[in-house]
Amino acid sequence: MIPNANRRYVFAARPTGLAGPEHFREETVPIRMPGAGEVLMETQLLSIDPAMRVWISENPGYVPPVQIGETMRGFGIGKVLASGDPRFAPGDMVQARPGWQSHATLLASDVQALDPALGSPLDWIGLIGMTGLTAYFGIRAVGAIKPGETVLVSGAAGAVGQMVGQIAGIEACRVVGIAGGAEKCAILTGELGFHAAIDYKAEPDLAAAIARECPGGVDVFFDNVGGPTLDAAIANLRLGGRVVICGRISQTASGELYGVKNLGLLIGKRGRIEGLLVTDFTARFGEARHWIAAQRDAGRLKQRMHVIDGLDQAAVGLGMLFKGENMGKLVVRVAG
Amino acid sequence: MIPNANRRYVFAARPTGLAGPEHFREETVPIRMPGAGEVLMETQLLSIDPAMRVWISENPGYVPPVQIGETMRGFGIGKVLASGDPRFAPGDMVQARPGWQSHATLLASDVQALDPALGSPLDWIGLIGMTGLTAYFGIRAVGAIKPGETVLVSGAAGAVGQMVGQIAGIEACRVVGIAGGAEKCAILTGELGFHAAIDYKAEPDLAAAIARECPGGVDVFFDNVGGPTLDAAIANLRLGGRVVICGRISQTASGELYGVKNLGLLIGKRGRIEGLLVTDFTARFGEARHWIAAQRDAGRLKQRMHVIDGLDQAAVGLGMLFKGENMGKLVVRVAG
């Protein structure tokens, strides 16, 4: 039985600060059955990511902005309900970019089948999804961690941050996380194997706190946050230290950008700062998923998920990310 | 005939802004004859470099600061007058760090013989000295230029900048220089083979000027200047672009550091910023000197020198660097 109503959230107003439900409009439209080379997907899980706030800004830079009137863009997992393409059959579990809608009619070439042997649908959206892959390639390929090095992670309790810390720990690094609040810090050290955690909300001088927890300095700083945290980390960088810029959640929706003052220190430290986009590593996603799944199966790696229910909660969730209200990977369960 | 008076300039007062003669004190002291394993060097040429302002700051970071009462530190070229070491004989031309003094008694292990076949004393201080080596390794090894790429150089009329531009040009890059004033710009394009030059003093919007002269974007930005110039260059960086931070002359003696706001763009651009110190490449200085000398002999590479006469002009020269009053490599001729 295929339903005939597609519920969707359309981008309705470009935000200047944080994004919330007021920037999206609910619509119900008929479902369009797939033509040749198309697939109809029922959305079950939607990934809610800080990058989404960038996609709805006027000039994201690396992708076209979401336009007013478009269904909000987003990654998700779901089930094939009908297929006009021989590669997919009803009942297949797939990943794609359905956006914020209950049903999406997509080009089959934009849809990938999930291998259930490698992980559950929640794993496919987190641990072995874009989140886990971003952490894997960010800290290993871009950060180029070596055993024995000290790794500092900002936004450490966030989706990517917690994975980065655990992966670096598996690779025999000493891992220090920065997060907001005692509860998050306790989870980092108690549950996720971080060697130390810094509660930035409780530290009057973040650079001094980093120096205290990383007494020999920082070899690799994995930054999800940007802003003054980046300055504090550069001040503590060791000779030959690397900074991976993955995100800058403190700056994404802020009116005035923070100016980073410590770049001059990179000369004496021979430090490196590099930006990361996981899509550069698409050809190696398979190898990464197998590594992550093996670590998970051995009990060395897990992803804390923060699941909220209902498509109408997607925009609420987007706001939560920027207020630090999520603990781990934020997912909206739409169906299933 | 060995004289018995050493004239020297001692660091006398730590500057807060620009450095000048008021921060140094002239002294005349007896020359100390070299003991076993030592060499007495007559200083002939002294290199005047922006880094010297960093060395006399309270906390240079990568080297110990020059202390009040010490002879001012500096690279130079000179002649051996007396030797207590079998590796050197009177009359040998050598390079070392004599500092700002007419005669220096140095450990022989801190002194290197010059190969006159590779270049003149002026070449050894510029073209195949630290200046040329910094440019060579900075743009080739750190910047990792490839033929056909667009290279942007700030401080392009300065000692390192002019070398960077020419080396990138030899490597078949398109080279755009940023300098202050029409005269410097004319020398870059007319004499040093730059494809275009931007007079930052005549441009109300430097980012727009870079976009105009680098219409496809910047693959490698070699930065001697720092500050807002760095922001303007990052805004124009291409996908996979690199920034080599060699110096930050706009920030070295400034009271308040400029905050760089465009680091977030590195994510979408997968850009890289890396600090450079030439001493990391010591093991490869020989190969670099041979390459540079061969390019010079073929007429493809030259170093414009700015020579001022007299040890008493060293501190004046240091100030000139920060006011943009030199055109090319600044050298003080002390003797010879």
Same-domain status, A222 and A178: yes
Task: Residue B198: name the closest of B160, B173, B168, B225 by CA.
Answer: B225
Q: Confirm if A42 and A98 have CB atoms less than 8 A apart.
A: no
Same-domain status, B314 and B274: no
Same-domain status, A138 and A271: yes
pLDDT in tens, A295-316: 999 999 999 999 999 999 999 9
pLDDT in tens, A51-79: 999 999 988 878 899 999 999 999 999 99
Instruction: Say yes or no: B55 contacts chain A, CB-CB below 8 A.
Output: no
pLDDT band at residue A199, thresholds of 50, 70 and 90? very high
Whether B273 shows a pLDDT value over 80: the answer reads yes
Instruction: Say yes or no: A50 contacts chain B, CB-CB below 8 A.
Output: no
Average pLDDT, integer, range B53-57:
92
Q: Confirm if B77 and B44 have CB atoms less than 8 A apart.
A: yes
Same-domain status, B258 and B328: no
Q: Confirm if A112 and A94 have CB atoms less than 8 A apart.
A: yes
Are A275 and B277 a contacting pair at CB < 8 A? no
Q: Confirm if A84 and A35 have CB atoms less than 8 A apart.
A: yes
- Calculate the alpha carbon distances from A294 to A118, A160, A202, A301 in Å: 9, 18, 37, 9
Instruction: Say yes or no: B234 contacts chain A, CB-CB below 8 A.
Output: no
Whether A156 shows a pLDDT value over 80: the answer reads yes
Are B266 and A248 a contacting pair at CB < 8 A? no
Are B269 and A280 a contacting pair at CB < 8 A? no
Instruction: Say yes or no: B144 contacts chain A, CB-CB below 8 A.
Output: no
Same-domain status, A169 and A40: no
Same-domain status, A256 and A138: yes
The residue of chain A nearest to residue B235, with distances taken between CA atoms, is: A61
Alpha carbon distance A171, A151 (integer Å)? 11
Alpha carbon distance B88, B66 (integer Å)? 28
Angle value at C-alpha A267, between A263 and A270, nearest 5 degrees: 105
Alpha carbon distance B315, A20 (integer Å)? 60
Asked whether residue A298 is domain-assigned, the answer is no
**Shortest alpha-carbon distance between residue B117 and chain A (Å):** 33
Q: Confirm if B299 and B319 have CB atoms less than 8 A apart.
A: no
Whether A333 shows a pLDDT value over 90: the answer reads yes
SS (H, E, C) chain A: CCCCEEEEEEECCCCCCCCCHHHEEEEEEECCCCCCCEEEEEEEEEECCCHHHHHCCCCCCCCCCCCCCCECCCCEEEEEEEECCCCCCCCCEEEECCCCECEEEEEHHHCEECCCCCCCHHHHHCCCCHHHHHHHHHHHHHCCCCCCCEEEECCCCCHHHHHHHHHHHHCCCEEEEEECCHHHHHHHHHCCCCCEEEEHHHCCCHHHHHHHHCCCCEEEEEECCCCHHHHHHHHCEEEEEEEEECCCHHHHCCCCCCCECHHHHHHHHCCEEEECCHHHHHHHHHHHHHHHHHHHHCCCCCCCEEEEECHHHHHHHHHHHHHCCCCCEEEEECCC
Average pLDDT, integer, range B260-281:
94
pLDDT in tens, A265-295: 999 999 999 999 999 999 999 999 999 999 9
Same-domain status, A115 and A253: no
In chain A, which residues have their Cβ closer than 8 Å to the Cβ of B62? Answer: 267-269
pLDDT in tens, A217-248: 999 999 999 999 999 999 999 999 999 999 88
Q: Are strands B24-30 and B5-11 parallel, antiparallel or unpaired?
A: antiparallel
pLDDT band at residue B252, thresholds of 50, 70 and 90? confident
Task: Residue A192: name the closest of A231, A135, A244, A238 by CA.
Answer: A135
pTM here?
A: 0.89
Same-domain status, A328 and A235: no
The residue of chain A nearest to residue B272, with distances taken between CA atoms, is: A274
Are B264 and A226 a contacting pair at CB < 8 A? yes
Are B258 and A259 a contacting pair at CB < 8 A? yes
* Main-chain phi, psi angles of B76, to 5 degrees: -165, 170
The residue of chain B nearest to residue A246, with distances taken between CA atoms, is: B267
Q: Are strands B150-154 and B93-96 parallel, antiparallel or unpaired?
A: unpaired
Query: Which token pair is A43?
Result: 């959305």
Asked whether residue B149 is domain-assigned, the answer is yes
Asked whether residue A295 is domain-assigned, the answer is no
Whether A35 shows a pLDDT value over 80: the answer reads yes
Average pLDDT, integer, range A131-154:
97
Domain, as residue range, for A269: 130-279
Same-domain status, A23 and A91: yes
Asked whether residue B293 is domain-assigned, the answer is no
Q: What is the mean pLDDT of chain B?
A: 95
CATH number reported for the structural domain that contains residue B266 in this entry? 3.40.50.720
Q: Confirm if A193 and A165 have CB atoms less than 8 A apart.
A: yes
Q: What is the mean pLDDT of chain A?
A: 95
**Shortest alpha-carbon distance between residue B336 and chain A (Å):** 34
Asked whether residue A288 is domain-assigned, the answer is no
Same-domain status, B191 and B308: no
The residue of chain A nearest to residue B242, with distances taken between CA atoms, is: A274
Instruction: Say yes or no: B37 contacts chain A, CB-CB below 8 A.
Output: no
Whether B279 shows a pLDDT value over 80: the answer reads yes
Asked whether residue B223 is domain-assigned, the answer is yes
Instruction: Say yes or no: A73 contacts chain B, CB-CB below 8 A.
Output: no
CATH number reported for the structural domain that contains residue A315 in this entry? 3.90.180.10
Alpha carbon distance B112, B75 (integer Å)? 12
pLDDT at A231: 97
- Calculate the alpha carbon distances from A120 to A123, A292, B159 in Å: 5, 13, 60
Alpha carbon distance B334, B328 (integer Å)? 18
More confident position, B194 or A256: B194
Are A273 and B273 a contacting pair at CB < 8 A? yes
Query: Which token pair is A10?
Result: 């359309």
Alpha-carbon torsion angle A54, A59, A62, A63, nearest 10:
80
Asked whether residue A296 is domain-assigned, the answer is no
Same-domain status, B115 and B146: no
Count up the domains in chain B and report the number.
Answer: 2
pLDDT at B256: 84
SS (H, E, C) chain B: CCCCEEEEEEECCCCCCCCCHHHEEEEEEECCCCCCCEEEEEEEEEECCCHHHHHCCCCCCCCCCCCCCCECCCCEEEEEEEECCCCCCCCCEEEECCCCECEEEEEHHHCEECCCCCCCHHHHHCCCCHHHHHHHHHHHHHCCCCCCCEEEEECCCEHHHHHHHHHHHHCCCEEEEEECCHHHHHHHHHCCCCCEEEEHHHCCCHHHHHHHHCCCCEEEEEECCCCHHHHHHHHCEEEEEEEEECCCHHHHCCCCCCCECHHHHHHHHCCEEEECCHHHHHHHHHHHHHHHHHHHHCCCCCCCEEEEECHHHHHHHHHHHHHCCCCEEEEEECCC
Asked whether residue A286 is domain-assigned, the answer is no
Same-domain status, A155 and A270: yes
Query: Which token pair is A205?
Result: 């001088």
